[in-house]
Structures are given as structure tokens and as C-alpha cells.
Amino acid sequence: MSDTKKKILAQIESLIQELEKHNYQYYVLDDPLVSDAEYDTIFRKLQKLEHEHPEFRLPHSPTQRVGGKALDQFKKIKHGVPMLSLANALTEEEFLAFDERIHKFVDSPKDEDLQYFAELKFDGLSISLIYENGTLVKAATRGDGEVGEDVTQNVKTIRSIPLKLHSQNPPKKIEIRGEIVFFIKDFEALNRAQLNQGDKVFANPRNAAAGSLRQLDSKITATRPLKGFFYGLGEAEGYTLPKTIAEFEDELRTWGLPVATWKKICKGPKQVLHFYKEIEGVRDDLPFEIDGVVVKLNSFAAQQAAGFISRSPRGMIAFKYPPKKSVTLIEDIQIQVGRTGALTPVALVTPVNVGGVMVKRATLHNQDEIDRKDIRIGDHVVIQRAGDVIPEIVEVLKEKRRGDERKFKIPDHCPICGSKVTKPEGEAVTRCVARNCVAKLKEHIKHFVQKDAINVDGLGDKIVEQLVDAGLVKKLSDLFQLEFDEVLALEGFAEKSAHKLLNAIETATSPELYRLIFGLGIRHVGESTAKLLAQKFKSLSKLSEASEEQLLEVGGIGEEMAKSILEYFADSIHQKELAELLKTLTPIEPKSSTATPVFKDKIFVLTGTLPTLSRGDAGKLIEDRGGKVSSSVSKKTDFVLAGEEAGSKLDKAQELGVKVISEEEFQKMLK
């Protein structure tokens, strides 16, 4: 390798290390050292170098975290050491029986306390990571315990999982096991976004984690804020195992893997019970769901001595908590028609308290789900709630049936508009595809006028329904043609409120471009995708003409999304409606588009601390305007933007006669 190449490789390695350090600070320690913009600047620098030198695209580069090509299916991976399951203890007695039992297997007097390591039982999805010489090379799901699925591409998008272990001297090969979870807050946000995009919502954080990890399109996984906790060991080569699990987890932590902090070394069963109760008390305050604590013999030697019983290690037990479930009766089943035309069956149940919340309705998702669980009107069912989402039915109590329960079939016609519904082969969702379905129209308009879209203040669900029912609004653009008298004639309106509504509609006619794109309700296009599209295409007409290749160039847009965007704009009715909308709407283009490349090809070097801008922000302002940021001053440098305590770069600039500017001057140039 030539010296220049060596230098570039070293530079790439150092950028990778720097970025991964920031990832770790942000995603594992929750203690970022730099702003997002600063991170982006370094990231782009690396991206650029990798682009220029594809031969140095390293498997542990953080640029690999954005997802890659969509797969047709996952490859199977046979686990080197099977991924077993745990025996459960559901009561204190069962736990004490476990303690008693393993005394027989380990070499310690009966009345001597055994040392346990107690930690949380995360309610997620098991995962196995394989690191070779410190680099993450494979990640697999548990599957049936013997053979799992290769989800390496997807796992690489999880920012808190190191692509390289933080160790100078990593084992030749080590398999680390843990659990992938979705935090409750993230889960709720995801479901809100899914609803807005007309995509399916997840029943609980666990399903969201599973659905995200088992995505064939890793670009989608990359948008999901998955997290992981690690606690276990699979295969290993060239690794000296410490004596206890507690020490092993400490080692995982020093390697940069996320390890939960809620854990305790317990002497004897009493201390375990204490930990179990303590965690039960904080269970609802944890940011993720757990279904129990796992109690393990702390010593690996003792675990080995305890051996296995029917595919479970005898030296560990899952000490479970009662789930947040209640029993109630299904009084009726109704159909809801969503914005995308999806017909969702909803069970109306006798109101019941589920983990502190009164529940009246539970989603049944779709016909397949009803059939699979054999849910009937009149059934007693177990209802479960996760986070703040719509509760779901987990089980039918068939032994309570009296014979007069009624099966339910989603109708073949839309209950609202009466047109025939479709259920494409292989899909679970039944949809009303009628163009003029009033239910869809209402949801479409609600979506369009919501705060996150064009934001018509005061135009709530009820008024949308009135407008549609009165025949005043048949498509989005009709909103902008409403006349004062028409609004006034609606029930509940007076002169003042009618004026107010029309004013609010008027105010909403210059939304930011991305809000308008989001408001159109293109399938799979949520708020963040809309932002990316607006940033890239700058206008609705450009977006509508975008080719598949151009769409795929946008980071974060995968094949499925691209397809859906193309389909949307190819539709002649949509084209007509967009033209109509643009007669009244003047979307605000994203800021940087106004920034004609004033700094085109200008090379900046930043040094010192600027009074208001971070380096990252300044870098972004420069790059958005066509300029470049370089790390060292040379004759080619156009400007050195210097702040306080600027060091050698400033000297160099003066030496070479490069123009030095302050932030104030820089800000002026921006204008």
C-alpha cells in the first residue's frame, strides 16, 4: 500500500473511532459530547472518504448503520451453542423450591446461602452477536433455539451496539447474547407515526421490536430506535471466562455493550425476594417492559455443576411478575374504516380496569387474527395493555362459552360507502378501495389538517365530519373553496366561529413543504420521510417527477417507500388534485434551498470556539451553501473561521495570507 493510501486508511480508522465514541456516549451512556450537527459533519467527512476510496469501506464503519439493500428472505444460521429457554417461577413458593432444588447440584452445604445474580427479564427478542477479533460479523435471532435468522444488516443499524468491541485485545471469537427491546416511549411514537402513515400499529413493544428486527428492508430498521441489553455468552474462542456472571457483565460493559444497571448480587433466596419486590415497585417506571427478573447462580462453575433440565439451564430461573391483563366480555364488534381504507374490527367490551386504566375497546387487528384466536361476540376474553396503546385480546376463555356466541366476519362491503372491499392474496388487511368512500375521505382530511401536517387550527374531527357530511368537502382542495355562508349554515356555527375557521384555513395555505408532503398521506411517508423528501426535492413538482433512482438516493428511503411514492404521483386523480391544491397553497421550501451556493467550492477551515455557533452548525451552514470544510489550512483554503482560543491554524492562516473571519463576518456573508 502506498503511503498516501496508508494515510487515508488511518484517517478513516480515526474518524470511525471518533464517531463510534460519540455513538457510545449518546446511545449507551446517554451523555453526548457533541451536537448532532457536529456528529453529522464528522460523519459526512467519513462518508466522503469512503466514497472516494471504496476499497476502505470497513465493516465496522458507522456508515454501515444506515441499512443496505432489501433482502428477499433471511439466511438461516445454525447456532454454535443452542439458545435455550428458562424455567419459570410464578410464585414465591416456586422460587424457593428452585433454590432448594439446586442446592442438590452444587457443592455447598444445604444451609449455606448460594450466591445469585439477579437482573431484569427484558420483554423483547433474544439476539446473538458474533464478534471476531473484536468486529461484529454476525447477528442472529433465536429462531427455534437451534437455527435462527441472519439479521446482521438490521442489527448493525442499532446505534448502541458496538460494531467493534472497545478492547485492545478482544477474544478471537465471542458470541454475546442479549435481548432487543423497544422503549415504551419510542413504541408509542412509532405507533402514532404508523397510524399517520396508514401502516399497521404494533400491539406491544415486544412486537414492535420483533417487527423491526425482522424487517427485510434494513433501511426501515434503521428508522426504528431499537435498543439492546446484553447478559449472556454463547460460543467463545481465545477467551478466558471470568468466574461470575457479574464480572462477565462488567466485561461486556467495558467492551461498550449496553448492560442494564438494575441488578444485584444476592446472598441466598431472601435477598433475591427483596430484589424481586423492589423491582416490582419500580416496574411501571422503567422505560421498557419487563416480565420478571432472571435469577442466575452467579458462579459459572456452579452453573456448570447444576447442568440442564429439558433445554433449560438448571442454575437459572425466570421469576415472573403477573401480567397487566384482565378478563372481560365482548359485547359487540364494530368496523372502523381508516384513512387508507383498512377495515379494522374493534371489540366493544364491558368496561374493565386493565393495569389501572378503564378499557372499553380492544383492537382485533384483522380477520386472520379473529380466526386464529377464534374470537366471537359474547366471548369472555383476556385483555392486555402495553404502554398507552389500544389494548388487545390475548386469549379467549373458551371454557366460559355457553353456545350463543356469534362468529364475526368482516363484511365484503365497506360499512360506510357500501362498495366492495378487497383483501389481496397474502395480505392480512381488508381494504375499501373506493375512491369516494366517505370514511376514508374524513380520515384523509383529518390527517391533512392536523397539527403536524398543514395545521388548520380549530378544525377538529367533528367539524371535518360535518363538512364532509354536508357535501361541502369532497376532496382536499375543496377546503380552500369553502364559503362563509356554507360554514355558517353548519350546526353549531355562528358568524364569529365561521370567520375563525375560514381564517385558520387561510393561514394554513403556506405550510412548510414537508408538512404538505406529509399531509398528502402517501403510504409509508411519515413526517421524517417527508422532511427528507422536501430537503432533497425542494418542491412538490420536482418530487412528483422524481425517478426511482433519485428517490433511493435519499438516505432513509427504501424500495418499498420509493414504490409507494412513485405510485402516488403516477395516479392521474392525485395529479389533478395536486394541481388544484397548488392553486391556493404556496408551500415554503426548505431553508437551504434559498441558499444559492454562495460558498460554492469555497474551502473553509474552522478553528477555536465561536461565540454562538457550534463547529458542527457552522460546518453545516457552509456545506449547505456549497462550501467545503477542511481540517487543515493550506494555500487552497479560502477562509479560516476563527473563534476564541484559535491555535496553530490561525498562525498558519496568517503565515499563508489566508483570509481570517470572525463569526460576525461569517453571519454577514450568510445573508
Q: Rule CB under 6 A: which residues touch ligand IVH?
A: 84-86, 119-122, 126, 142, 179, 231-232, 294, 313, 316, 318
Residue 283 CA to residue 290 CA, distance in Å, equals 7
Nearest to 226 by CA among 206, 201, 253: 206
3-state helix, strand, coil in the chain (%, to 5): 40, 20, 35
The nearer residue to ligand IVH, 275 or 568, going by C-beta atoms, is 275
For residue 419, CA distances in Å to 197, 439, 443, 469 come to: 23, 12, 17, 18
Whole-number Å distance between alpha carbons of 19 and 4 = 23
Supply 334's cell numbers.
364494530
Rounded to a whole number of angstroms, the minimum distance from the CB of residue 516 to ligand IVH is 44
| Minimal CB distance residue for ligand IVH | 126
337 - beta bridge partners?
343
The three-state secondary structure class of 215 is coil
Burial-class residue 314 by CB neighbours within 10 Å (0-12, 13-18, 19+): buried
Neighbour count for residue 240 (Cβ, 10 Å): 6
Which residues fall within 8 angstroms of residue 520, CB to CB, at 6 or more apart? 448, 568, 578
**At closest approach, how far in Å is the CB of 517 from ligand IVH?**
40
DSSP states along 220-283: HHHHS--EEEEEEEEEEES----SBHHHHHHHHHHTT----S-EEEEEHHHHHHHHHHHHHHHG
Whole-angstrom CA distances from 281 to 292, 321, 385 are 12, 11, 18
Q: Among residues 79 and 339, whose Cβ is nearest to ligand IVH? A: 79
Minimum Å distance from CB 254 to ligand IVH? 19
H-run or E-run covering 118: strand 115-122
CB of 61 or CB of 160, closer to ligand IVH: 160
User: In the complex with ligand IVH, which residue's Cβ is closer, 308 or 484?
Assistant: 308
With contact defined as beta carbons under 8 Å apart, do 120 and 287 qualify?
Answer: no
Residues known to be catalytic? 121
What's the min distance (Å) between Cβ of 277 and ligand IVH?
18
Nearer to ligand IVH, 234 or 338 (CB): 234
Residue spans of alpha helices (H) in 418-571: 438-449, 461-469, 484-488, 495-507, 513-519, 527-537, 540-545, 548-553, 559-570
Q: Tell the smallest beta-carbon distance from residue 287 to ligand IVH (Å).
A: 15
Q: Where are the alpha helices (DSSP H) in 283-366?
A: 300-306
Contact present, 149 and 214 (Cβ < 8 Å)? yes
Q: How far apart are CA 407 and CA 378, in angstroms?
A: 9
| Nearest distance from C-beta of residue 391 to ligand IVH, angstroms | 24
Query: 290: helix, coil or strand?
Result: strand
Smallest distance, ligand IVH to C-beta of residue 205, A? 13
Return the number of the residue (179 or 512) whose C-beta is nearest ligand IVH. Answer: 179
Q: Name the residue nearer to ligand IVH (CB basis): 297 or 646.
A: 297
CB of 201 to ligand IVH, least distance (A): 24
> CB–CB of 129/138 below 8 Å?
yes
Query: Based on CB atoms, which residue is closest to ligand IVH, 148 or 627?
Result: 148
Within 8 A by CB and 6+ apart from 464, the residues are: 442, 445, 446, 449, 473
| Distance in Å, CB of 94 to ligand IVH, minimum | 15
Nearer CB in complex with ligand IVH: 178/269: 178
